Amino acid sequence: MRRTFKKFHGISASIDPEDTGLYRALLPDLFDMPHGPKVSLTVTEYVHVAAWPLLMSYREGAVALKSRYEDDEGWFVLDMPVTRGIAAMAGRGIGFPKRRVESIEFKPESGIWRGDVSADGKDILSIELSPDGDYPRFEPDRPDCPIPAPPLEATHIVRPSRGEDRPRGVRLQVRHVVKETPKLPGTARVRVDADAKWAPLVDDSQSWHGVYFQFWGGASFVFSSLG
């Protein structure tokens, strides 16, 4: 099923891992440690997704580790909860560990963007992003934001499909842009479920670099061979 992502926005935090031994253990054996390990926590709201014969919207959370396969670096997703079953099914077909959960909230509160992911009566992760300055800021001379916006500015590395011996790279390729919407850097505070296997990687007593991102146009998944 071909899907075109027409409009989405979200927030992401870029985190230095506390335990590189656990980080290594959570990566599949065929992947290597990257140059500069990072944990990415993201909450995204897909406002308009065209998926023939359906038009749908959904929200998504993601926990990902920067990883490497031979000379290629990308992000390996540990968990990707979503609010729609069809989005979970389609994502698993690509190679993402998607699962449907009962609640993902994403909204602004007094100038702060907040995302909350819950499942089975527990809070999986929460992100609060305080933007640096007022939103929106469209000044052409505004400095670039160094924090990647995961859906668009990241290649994900997924395990080999059945019958294949090499992992694949998955990324969103922009087909067209309706409106230029720049990223907005900020300061992120996070909370994570202490029982999650990846929780010891994240020090949620600290503040981290983060970003608010927005896309309005058309983008579709493309795949690449690695190694």
pTM for this model (two decimals)? 0.92
Q: What per-residue confidence (pLDDT) applies to 2?
A: 56
50 within 8 A of 4, measured Cβ to Cβ: yes
Taking only the tens of pLDDT, the chain with its 227 residues reads 456 899 999 999 999 999 999 999 999 999 999 999 999 999 999 999 987 666 689 999 999 999 999 999 999 999 999 999 989 998 998 899 999 999 999 999 888 999 999 998 899 999 999 988 655 555 555 556 667 778 888 899 998 877 778 899 999 999 999 987 778 889 999 999 999 999 999 999 999 999 999 999 999 999 988 86
Q: What per-residue confidence (pLDDT) applies to 144?
A: 62
Q: What per-residue confidence (pLDDT) applies to 24?
A: 98
Q: What per-residue confidence (pLDDT) applies to 52?
A: 61
Name beta bridge partners: 210: 13, 186
What's the 3-state SS for 144-167?
Answer: CCCCCCCCCCCCEEECCCCCCCCC
Q: Which domains occur in the chain, in start order? A: 3-149+176-218 (2.40.400.10)
| CA separation for the pair 109, 151 (Å, rounded) | 23
Q: What per-residue confidence (pLDDT) applies to 1?
A: 44
Q: What per-residue confidence (pLDDT) applies to 107?
A: 93
Strands 54-69 and 39-51 turn out to be: antiparallel
- CB neighbour class for 224 (10 Å; exposed up to 12, middle 13-18, buried from 19): exposed
